[in-house]
Copies of this chain bind each other. A is one copy, B any other.
């Protein structure tokens, strides 16, 4: 195994000083064209490439950003990562991915591991447990240490940092409205417990839409799923609850689900109970996943534009990182709202 070429080696072999080599490789005007050519030729010959770690240490910036997400096996987060990579790579940044696995302590550990100099900033969507505990100490500490943070999707207002989110309330309102416009009278919502910000906000949108139509919400029709049923082992439980709902209220003619899986499972249960979709029951989901597209019937859904969120988050973060360098007054904190749009497919009329 060959050792990597260093400036030192080049310098020794060429019998010049290290700094001459360094400067020559950067086309410094201080160095004669002759030397520059010689150094470069030799560097290429030995396949010299500067050591990133040394540069990071010197510059006190790593040109890498950390993205911490609850789970990577979700299409949405995957899209966000892709967006982050796109933007970051174009700007010469690398991306370290940390998975909290929806656990508070994993989130903290992961962040601490990276905050020790490995990254220049974080892009984060909180774990469920963090939202539940409302313990944001680790975010605060990051900020105190001067590490910029951008939160997305699962946001919390208390943290003074840049944020990227969709207008959950509006997206949900429009989805519910659409169901109403398409003739649904009795619309159920399948949502999360309120500590999940996106669930709470989407529920709010649902209520607003009903209100606009002078419909009184019925507690029975608001199914707040306990804990995170996105996980595979909880699907049966999810199914049972939806079954109960549909059996108790067989005249439900609209379902708005706050994520893709809830929607898909709802459709499955409904089909098993012989609901005709979209004839008798219309369904709209929330997300931009693959399941929706390939479900049968294909699912109408509120698109979240994950990739765009990722790009925007990376852009905000890198702007913050760059401004730290000049130590200029920070520009004000931004909350970027990505607009959703409703994709109508075959689960609605």
Contact = CB atoms under 8 A, between A and B. Distances in A.
Interface string A46-62: 01011111101100001
Interface in A93-152: 94-99, 110, 112-118, 141, 144-146
A77 to B, nearest CB: 9
Interface string A1-45: 111100000000000000000000000000000000000000000
Contacts of A79: 73
Given A53-B53, A73-B75, A78-B72, A118 B146 contact: no
A257 to B, nearest CB: 13
Given A97-B95, A294-B268, A73 B62 contact: no
Contact of A117 (B51, B115, B268): B51
Interface stretch (A81-89, A177-185, A218-226, A336-344): A81-89
A347 interface: no
Contacts of A169: none
Interface in A56-72: 56-57, 62, 64, 72
Contacts of A118: 52-53, 64, 94
A116 B51 contact: yes
Nearest to A49: B116
Contact of A72 (B81, B145, B268, B324): B81
Contacts of A75: 73
B89 A82 contact: no
A291 interface: yes
A113 B91 CA distance: 12
Interface residues of A, number: 53
A290 interface: yes
Nearest to A73: B78
User: How many copies of this chain are found per oligomer?
Assistant: 2
A61 to B, nearest CB: 10
A128 to B, nearest CB: 17
Contacts of A3: 146
A183 to B, nearest CB: 25
A295 interface: yes
A147 to B, nearest CB: 9
A271 interface: yes
A240 interface: no
Contact of A113 (B4, B47, B94, B265): B94
A116 B72 contact: no
Nearest to A109: B89
A251 interface: no
A264 interface: yes
Which 5 A-B pairs give the minimum distances between C-beta atoms? A1-B146, A51-B117, A52-B117, A53-B117, A52-B116
